[in-house]
């Protein structure tokens, strides 16, 4: 997978608020860090990964998030740039956030060959103690990724 750019560019969905007001991206070694710049309550900021993936050779989009002090909840959307088809892989999740995640993009989008994808990852920054009791990421807390890559069958 060729990652051409990873950035919090653009705006939160359906708002005029820049993602970069909420998130900062950095690297420590091979790990990607996403720093919360403000309390995440009420926002849906995301970062975007622009990727070119040969879905015949490496159809699996995979990642693993590392445990940190910030809540690990997330949402994930993938857009096939050529067809402008969007798939929401996770609307939001509170369980299994640190598991190994894998989705077959070739099957999901019914495509072949090299494709450009826009991967939007939403580090939601909220945790759930009970159905009515939430806790929020605080400025300076971060989520970390062990890897974000394409893998073969």
The CATH code of the domain that includes 28 is 2.60.120
Q: What is the reported pTM?
A: 0.91
Q: Return d(Cα 45, Cα 31) in angstroms, integer.
A: 20
Confidence band, pLDDT 50/70/90 cuts, at residue 94: confident
Q: What is the pLDDT of residues 21-80, one digit of tens each?
A: 999 999 888 889 999 998 867 778 999 999 999 999 999 999 999 999 999 999 999 999
Do residues 71 and 136 make contact, with C-beta atoms less than 8 angstroms apart?
yes
**CB burial string 28-66: b at 16+ within 10 A, e below:** eeeebebbbebebeebbbbbbbbbebbbeebbbbebbbe
Distance (Å, whole) CA 60 – CA 132: 36
User: pLDDT tier at 5 (50, 70, 90 boundaries)?
Assistant: confident
117-133 confidence digits (pLDDT tens) = 999 999 998 888 887 88
Q: How many domains, the chain?
A: 1
What is the arithmetic mean of pLDDT over 7-29? 91
Q: Which domain holds residue 66?
A: 2-151
Residues 6+ apart with CB under 8 A from 12: 18, 19, 22, 43, 44, 45, 46
> How confident is residue 1, by pLDDT bands cut at 50, 70 and 90?
low
Distance CA 46, CA 122 (A): 4
Is the pLDDT at 146 greater than 90, yes or no? Answer: yes
Using alpha carbons, select from 73, 91, 67, 76 the residue that is nearest to residue 129: 73
């Amino acid at each position: 997978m060729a990652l051409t750019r990873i950035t919090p560019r653009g705006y939160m969905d359906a708002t005029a608020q820049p993602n970069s007001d909420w998130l900062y991206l950095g690297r420590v070694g091979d790990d990607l860090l996403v720093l919360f710049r403000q309390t995440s309550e009420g926002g849906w900021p995301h970062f975007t990964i622009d990727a070119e993936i040969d879905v015949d050779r490496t159809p699996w989009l995979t990642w693993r998030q590392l445990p940190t002090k910030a809540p690990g909840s997330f949402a994930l959307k993938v857009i096939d740039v050529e067809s402008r088809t969007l798939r929401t892989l996770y609307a939001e999740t509170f369980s299994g956030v640190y598991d190994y995640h894998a989705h077959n993009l070739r099957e999901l989008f019914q495509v072949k060959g090299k494709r450009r994808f826009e991967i939007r990852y939403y580090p939601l920054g909220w945790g759930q103690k009970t159905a009515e009791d939430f806790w929020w990421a605080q400025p300076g807390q971060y989520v970390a990724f062990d890897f974000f890559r394409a893998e073969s069958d």
